[in-house]
Amino acid sequence: MTNRLEDLLSTLQAAATLEDLQAILETLRDHYGVEHTVYHWVNSVGERYGAGTYSAEWVDRYLEKDYLRMDPVIFVCFQRFTPVSWKELDWSSKPAREMWQDALDHGLGNQGYTIPIRGPSGQFALFTLNASLSDEDWAQFIDENARDLMILGHEFNKKALEFEQWGEDGSVPALSPRELASMGCLARGMSRAQAAAELNISEHTLRVYIESSRHKLGAMNTTHAVARALSAGIIII
Amino acid sequence: MTNRLEDLLSTLQAAATLEDLQAILETLRDHYGVEHTVYHWVNSVGERYGAGTYSAEWVDRYLEKDYLRMDPVIFVCFQRFTPVSWKELDWSSKPAREMWQDALDHGLGNQGYTIPIRGPSGQFALFTLNASLSDEDWAQFIDENARDLMILGHEFNKKALEFEQWGEDGSVPALSPRELASMGCLARGMSRAQAAAELNISEHTLRVYIESSRHKLGAMNTTHAVARALSAGIIII
DNA sequence: TTAAAACTCCCCATAAATAGCGAGGTCGCG
DNA sequence: CGCGACCTCGCTATTTATGGGGAGTTTTAA
């Protein structure tokens, strides 16, 4: 079992395209004997990226019906650090129950396990296994494989980040100390006058820093500049 | 080795206080034969939470000298998904070199390995091992233990989140879809006029959303609101 | 069903941010 | 030693954001 995992991880580390991830997920599904294995990257607007063994029909339907906004799995994973087994969730709301039935009709199994994974700048992804098993068998399966699945999920996310070149490209412009301090003050809610007082400089000088930060960050306005600085991780609230 | 890890993980799962974490980190240090093991939770104001085997003097000095703001480990981990070995980092800047020398003077080893860990609502923590070893030995050590260390780091963070009840209490206010969309537009650099056009609403309506978002987020101004929304991970650029 | 929340629109006055023009001192690097 | 980058300060005019007031409809949830 462990050797098989090592093989899969080696393959994963050699993956170069999204199709490679797709193939690995299929291998993984067969290896674990489950219905589906899915890695997908989630953001507020919709699915930005993903691979898995769900049927194209189900993926289309999921997007079309905007299930992303009512899916308890996503909702709960967004607020949790630890993985979740689907049966633990609250499926009582009407849209959730409709979605669940719809999922079963589209070939999903009755059990699921989803691992939330977070990367830099709010990046968020999910690694999911779906199966048809009794509650006891599923609990045992998860108990036995939870750790391997976490490793796998993280390796998938690592690859996805490489593909997208998220943050790793060092294209983040360097701000001077005063510029960083200025951005920091603004990000913490200070007005220009307050920030200038905090930094013991005139408001005009502060403005010069904000302007130069804006230009370096390629931002349209102060809010944009602060957002980019935060997103790039060069300031922290 | 693996059995020892299982023991440690069991102890960790039973931990109930920060002191327990502290004791486990000390056991871990002795087990791996390294100089220091540290778990700490990071935000901009300073260390919010942490446990580890660093001397009190070093922790005090670190905070006093505001090293948090110049520490390349933190800076880089904030932008990465994968762990980092300290020798890979850029220590060329003067403040970084001074900090490094200061660290050596305070009993730190010449090698380090830090794993960034992210939780819900922008929570961010680091799990660090520090040792005195040659580059080759350290590389081999990391190669052998990377996976276990990742598991350990995640278990530490899971515990820390339990202690702090992060995210469970709804401490992050829920914004309505339109409010989120408004914040998103502003974070992407649009002016109010542009954002209103983008969302197909009047500029005044947009203002209502910005205002309500501001109030929900407890922000002083628009920039602050966007910064908090980003920081909480409820919007993504 | 009914109440709460969300979504949409409008006006007015004031506060704040942006854009443009300046100038001069310090520090490090080649 | 000069060049560039950083830090500091001032002025004016225009654009934009904020804060206060109100008032309808639709959607969602108890």
Sequential pLDDT tens for chain B (237 residues): 457 888 889 999 999 988 999 999 999 999 999 999 999 987 655 556 789 999 999 988 888 777 876 788 888 888 889 999 999 888 877 778 888 888 999 999 999 999 999 998 788 999 999 999 999 999 999 999 999 999 999 999 999 888 876 544 446 677 888 898 899 999 999 988 888 888 889 888 989 899 899 888 888 889 999 999 988 888 877
Question: Which bases on strand D have an atom closer than 7 Å to a protein beta carbon?
Answer: 5-11, 16-20, 22-23, 29
d(CA A181, CA A199): 8
pLDDT computed for residue B167 by the predictor: 45
First to last CA, chain B: 43
Q: Is the CB of B151 under 7 A from strand C?
A: no
Residue A73 to chain B, least CA–CA distance (Å): 14
pLDDT of residue B159: 92
- Residue among A80, A168, A231 minimizing CB distance to B237: A231
Helix (H, G, I), strand (E, B) or coil at A110: coil
Q: Does B118 touch chain A (CB under 8 A)?
A: yes
A97 inside 8 A of chain B by CB? no
Provide the number of CB pairs (under 8 Å) joining chain A to chain B: 132
What is the set of domains in chain B, with CATH numbers?
Answer: 2-164 (3.30.450.80), 177-231 (1.10.10.10)
Dihedral angle of Cα A188, A190, A196, A200, to the nearest 10 degrees: -60
Distance from residue A236 (CA) to nucleotide C26 (C1'), in Å? 29
Give the C-alpha separation, A151 to A147, whole Å: 6
Are A37 and A120 spatial neighbours (Cβ–Cβ below 8 Å)? no
Chain-wide mean pLDDT for chain A?
A: 87
**Chain B within 8 Å of A172 (Cβ-Cβ)?**
yes
In this prediction the ipTM stands at 0.83
Strand, helix or coil for residue A223: helix
Q: Which two tokens stand for residue A41?
A: 């990257």
pLDDT tens per residue across span A25-54: 999 999 999 999 999 987 655 556 789 999
Which residue type occupies B38? V
How far lies B13's CA from each of A153, B6, B21, B35, in Å? 22, 10, 10, 24
Under DSSP, is residue B127 helix (H, G, I), strand (E, B) or coil?
strand
Cβ within 8 Å, pair B79-A167: yes
- Print pLDDT tens along chain A (237 aa): 457 888 889 999 999 988 999 999 999 999 999 999 999 987 655 556 789 999 999 988 888 777 877 788 887 888 789 999 999 888 877 778 888 888 999 999 999 999 999 998 778 899 999 999 999 999 999 999 999 999 999 999 999 988 876 544 456 678 888 888 889 999 999 988 888 888 888 888 988 899 889 888 888 889 999 999 888 878 877
**Does residue A222 reach within 7 angstroms of strand D, measured from its CB?**
no
Q: Which residues of B touch A161 (CB under 8 A)?
A: 81
